[in-house]
Amino acid sequence: MSDFMKSIVQEVMKPNQKPKENPLFSGETRFVYSKSSAVNKPQQTPQEINRPNYQQKNRQKNLSFIKENSADSRENSRSNVKNENLSPVSAKSDYKDPLARLQTLSLVQGNQPIHQQQIHTSIRKKHFQEESQLIGQTRDGLKAWLYSSPHPMLLQNFQRSIKSNAIGVITSRKCQLGQLFIVNELLREHPAMKYCLSWDKNSKESFVLELYEDNAEILRRALKTFFQRLSQNSFKQIQVYQAHSPSPWLTKQLDLTTQVDGVAVVEGIEYYAAMFLLDRFFKKSPEKNIKYKIDRDYLLLHGNYEIIKEVSEELLKQAEHLS
């Protein structure tokens, strides 16, 4: 055996020889390293060694950073859109977060009454349209009523049992000839409207006019117009009413046997006051041909419309000076 091989064998066969020291841990550093590593612990198998998983730690750190950013972004979006409705997508994205889901539901439910309020408003409006109304009344007993969608059990109580979506009623304590002129105008403006009139020229009964119309809005406007015309004229003691080419219905109510071109009534003057006015008129204007009828509280004129119109207005002025 060569000397080189012997040296190798001897080197290998040396018992319990300490390992060579690393030059990085010499002197003071060696003492510190040996002291920190020389802790008496039971030996552990390689499976029990707790080695940190740096990959997992970094992944968790990144996930926590993403959650914080998403939470901040949600908070900022809520502060910027406090009064806006949340879309279904945002509601689904916050489903896993109970607090965010609760806030989402609260915002959606907070806006829901606005829609419900619109529904309730339309219901109240529809209910108002179907509700019966008192259109108006005056001190002298004039009243106007609108029955929208009247109950079927009440139809028999009207003067005519007509199935209609709306029924209008005008009542007055007394009957006056001028009421017939206004009714004549109303029926001309609404020729398709059905009606029923109770009128007594001797005023033994009250004036009652019922109007039947399927369109409640048309009937409401007609009632308001009719009521305004009657109520405005009721403030004056003496009134004049005129009609050009009066309808057969009006001529019949006025007890006129033939159709005339024009008719007028001066209402609110006494019997002898009417005679006084006619006496002065015939003496002053004998060329004007008119026909007349005197009653206890009105003067009826008929003939040519232009002449009747002129004479009735002149007699009205003279009657106002007498009163």
pLDDT tens string 222-243: 999 999 998 887 677 899 999 9
Full DSSP string of 39-76: -------GGG-----HHHHHHHHHHHHHHHHHHHHHHH
Position 108 scores a pLDDT of: 43
DSSP class of residue 27? T
Helix (H) or strand (E) holding 121: helix 98-130
What are the residues facing 312 on neighbouring strands? none
Contact assessment for residue 149 and residue 165, using Cβ atoms and an 8 Å cutoff: yes
Q: What is the pTM of this model?
A: 0.59
Q: In this predicted model, what pLDDT tens digit does every residue of 283-316 receive, in sequence order?
A: 999 999 999 999 989 999 999 999 999 999 999 9
17 by Cβ neighbours in 10 Å (0-12 / 13-18 / 19+) ranks as exposed
The mean predicted confidence, pLDDT, of the chain is: 75
For the record, the structure tokens of 83 come out as 């009064």
The residue among 59 and 94 whose pLDDT is bigger is 59
Q: What are phi and psi of 179, to 5 degrees?
A: -60, -35
Q: Is the pLDDT of residue 146 over 90?
A: yes
What are the residues facing 267 on neighbouring strands? 239, 298
Full DSSP string of 161-226: ----SEEEEEEESS--HHHHHHHHHHHHH-TT-EEEEE--TT-SS-EEEEEEES-HHHHHHHHHHH
Q: What share of the chain is helix, strand, coil (3-state, %, to 5)?
A: 50, 15, 30
Q: What are phi and psi of 229, to 5 degrees?
A: -65, -40
Work out the angle between the directed axes of helices 271-284 and 305-322 (0-180°, nearest 10): 120
Query: CA-CA distance, 127 to 129, in Å (whole number)?
Result: 5
Most confident of 74-83, 203-212, 307-316: 307-316
What residue has token string 């109970």? 98
Residue type, 50: N
Work out the angle between the directed axes of helices 216-234 and 177-189 (0-180°, nearest 10): 150
User: 3-class SS at 15?
Assistant: coil
Q: Is the pLDDT of residue 56 over 80?
A: no
Q: In this predicted model, what pLDDT tens digit does every residue of 94-143 receive, in sequence order?
A: 444 555 554 444 444 444 455 555 554 554 454 445 789 999 999 888 99
Contact assessment for residue 183 and residue 190, using Cβ atoms and an 8 Å cutoff: no
For the record, the structure tokens of 164 come out as 């209609």
Contact assessment for residue 164 and residue 213, using Cβ atoms and an 8 Å cutoff: yes
